[in-house]
Structure 1
Amino acid sequence: MIFTETELAGAFIIDVDRMSDERGFFARSWCEDEFAAHGITAAPVQANVSSNPRKGTLRGMHLQLEPFGETKLVRCTRGAIYDVIVDMREESPTYGQWLGVELTAESFRMLFVPARFAHGFITLKDDTDVCYQVSAKYAPGYERGLRWNDPAIGIKWPIEPTVISEKDRRHPDFRQLVPQA
């Protein structure tokens, strides 16, 4: 795997290192040793899939508070998404900053999301599926959200959302969200 650390410390764009032949290619998408070599030691304990029939579906921005903070390894398995993370670590020099990356089924590119980051995405094509491995089980009482279009964060989404859940519409602004319990 090819790890590229982003400007948000601890977040990585991960490309598969393809071994190709006449059959196609083979590549690893998870290796405990390779992740540990980049300081990532939280192993997945749950895998999730999100199926999105319509282009413009926005999901986010979600996070879980400690002690149930979760890392995520996100990959688009059909279609395409613009995946966004926001650093919610108050002690971080990049606190409140965001990063967006396009993930497509064709690229096999992944995004590693550290714990205490808000995460969300918008679908860029109809019939888009997203798979992600998480390092903690879902804990409803520790779930929080950040408003997807909060001007204090200023995420530049590539398209206007057409489908957003009522729950995601009601998330608070950055200044109202308390990231730690």
Structure 2
Amino acid sequence: MVPFQADLVAETVGYPLPLAQSNHSVSRRGVIRGVHFADTPPGQAKYIYCARGALIDIVIDIRLGSPTFGKWEAVRLSSETYNSIYISEGLGHCFLALEDDTVMNYLCSTPFTPAREHAINPLDPALGLPWAEYLDGAAPVLSAKDTDAPSLAEAEAAGLLPKYQTCVDHYASLRANA
């Protein structure tokens, strides 16, 4: 398997994914991680695949002013299919482990910088994420960081969310410098 090919990502996205950090997480069934995002610019683009087990990966448009603000897409990633997902800077990201010992790998365009990192509570009813569909009645498992994270409305009121036009300008700059 070749889960990442730089030239294919650059061709698809319009600019290369600079690799500043590689993350690896192991989760048991029912663990939800996220919704996480970074200040943009520079933001943090992510290329994600599941090396073992299976997960539901969700990308949420949290860019203020975006025509798709608040909308999300869910994709099943697994070690059987080795499919992957690319997440642009300025978007929110979370996932749910569907099996014990699920390993998720993500390649990041910028290093983890705590002062620029933010979270939204993944159980915020306003997001309408499909956790119940996959949990079969089990309670989700969240970190304290994610449990204590603000709702989408609270993050917006606190000025934490990226602005759509700022992100669009950032993407254009990345393409121009490719």
Same fold (TM over 0.5): yes
- Per residue, is there more strand in 1 or in 2? 1
TM-score normalised to the size of structure 2? 0.80
Post-superposition offset of 1:89:
1.5
The structure with higher relative contact order (CA 8 Å, sep 6+) is 2
Q: How many residues align?
A: 154
Q: How far does the alpha carbon of each residue in 1:32-63 deviate from its partner, in whole angstroms, 9 at most, with x for none?
A: 3x2222234232221100012x2101111111
Distance in 2 of aligned mates of 1:130 and 1:175 = 29
Distance in 1 of aligned mates of 2:2 and 2:103 = 20
Distance in 1 of aligned mates of 2:10 and 2:41 = 21
Q: Is 1:68–1:142's contact at 8 Å kept on the other side of the alignment?
A: no
TM-score normalised to the size of structure 1? 0.79
Q: Which region of structure 1 is more displaced relative to structure 2, 58-67 or 72-81?
A: 58-67
Post-superposition offset of 1:91:
3.0
Q: How far does the alpha carbon of each residue in 1:38-97 deviate from its partner, in whole angstroms, 9 at most, with x for none?
A: 234232221100012x21011111111123410101101000001111111123211111
Percent identity, aligned pairs only, is: 31
Assess, with a 3 A threshold, how the Cα gap between structure 1 residues 48 and 79 changes in structure 2: closer, same or farther. Answer: same
> Which residue does the alignment assign to 1:45?
20
Q: What is the CA RMSD across the aligned residues, in angstroms?
A: 1.7
What is the DSSP-based 3-state SS (H/G/I as helix, E as strand, rest coil) of the residue aligned with 1:36?
Answer: helix
What is the DSSP-based 3-state SS (H/G/I as helix, E as strand, rest coil) of the residue aligned with 1:149?
Answer: coil
Q: Is 1:122–1:161's contact at 8 Å kept on the other side of the alignment?
A: no
Runs of 4 or more consecutive aligned structure 1 residues displaced over 4 Å after TM superposition? none
Q: How does 1:155-170 map to 2 (within 5 A)?
A: 155-157=129-131, 158-159=134-135, 160-170=138-148
> Which residue does the alignment assign to 2:35?
61
Q: Is 2:32–2:96's contact at 8 Å kept on the other side of the alignment?
A: yes
